Amino acid sequence: MTDPSPPGETRLGIGQRLFVGLQYLLPQHLLSGAMFRLTRLRLGPLTPVLIQGFVRLFGVDLDEAEDPRPGAYRTFNAFFTRALRPGARPLAPGASTVLSPVDGTISQLGRIGAGRIFQAKGRDFSCGELLGGDSALAASFDGGLFATLYLSPRDYHRIHLPLDAELTETIHVPGRLFSVNPTTAASVQRLFARNERVVCHFRTELGPMALVLVGAIFVGSIETAWAGRITPPRGREARRLPGQPAAGPAPRLPRGAEIGRFNMGSTVILLLPPDRFQWHESLAAGSPVRVGQALTVPAH
């Protein structure tokens, strides 16, 4: 079979192309809704058995959990969104050092140029589209930095704040629910701007910052600390969420604060303003990161 990938794009094997192609046919939201319900079932003594199997399969380090006992979790989702023990993720020093908001792996990182964000070889997407069509906000990040951070099943799935910040807006943008793993990122054009996502805009002393919580197939729901569970339900139109300045003072949040969680895994995209930061020289696509780790140094 001839590889149909256009020049400049990553070439996928037959199995990978079938995996991606199947996602176009699957009822993505129906399957994710089923996962939402299944992971919340109380299955009694079967729950810790399932958790132990998951831990062995994916190499989860339960010693880092606030409660490392599989039997302590009544549902699989309670285990999947487990808290870490105090001190497990110390924050890197320096109030102007941007912290990793998640445990995961860097899919891509770099600079936003001409309003475009790099996705994979031969593929990129619009910053404005990612942010729900807000061209003015997107312009404030042009020339700034982006990092796409992938959370695998073995990772801790709570999201933390990279800098002291004031929440200015949160928007839920409906969309598809393609997988966000590297194979799909290499194949599906505009993946992160097509998938359902929650866009969190912040104001910091160093300029605007955005965290985009991207949904994916089998991600049962996305939650934030101020709006609670956002998905499901799902709609067809972008919507502004509760807990915004129009309803009262904008929430002010300290660096390292927990701001949300994925109920099953996905991706967070961090956007930073121009002329303030540069990525730490040790970081590249494929680098593992942990909550509280320093991602940046000051721009020269």
DSSP E strand stretches across 191-254: 197-204, 207-214, 221-224, 228-231, 239-240, 252-253
What region does 40 belong to: left with phi over 0, alpha with psi -120 to 50, or beta? alpha
Shortest CA distance to 170 belongs to which of 61, 75, 246, 98? 246
3-state SS, residue 244:
coil
Identified catalytic residue from 29, 160, 172, 201: 160
H or E segment and range at residue 150 = strand 145-150
Per DSSP, 112 falls in state -
Phi and psi for 65 in degrees, rounded to 5? -75, 150
Measured CA distances, 224 to 24, 40, 110, 158, 249 (Å): 29, 18, 26, 10, 17
Is 152 an active-site residue?
no
CB neighbourhood size of 272 (10 A) = 26
Is 266 an active-site residue?
yes
Cα separation of 47 and 68, whole Å?
A: 14
Phi and psi for 177 in degrees, rounded to 5? -135, 55
Identified catalytic residue from 32, 100, 103, 201: 103
CB neighbourhood size of 40 (10 A) = 15
Is 107 an active-site residue?
no
Which residues carry out catalysis? 103, 160, 266
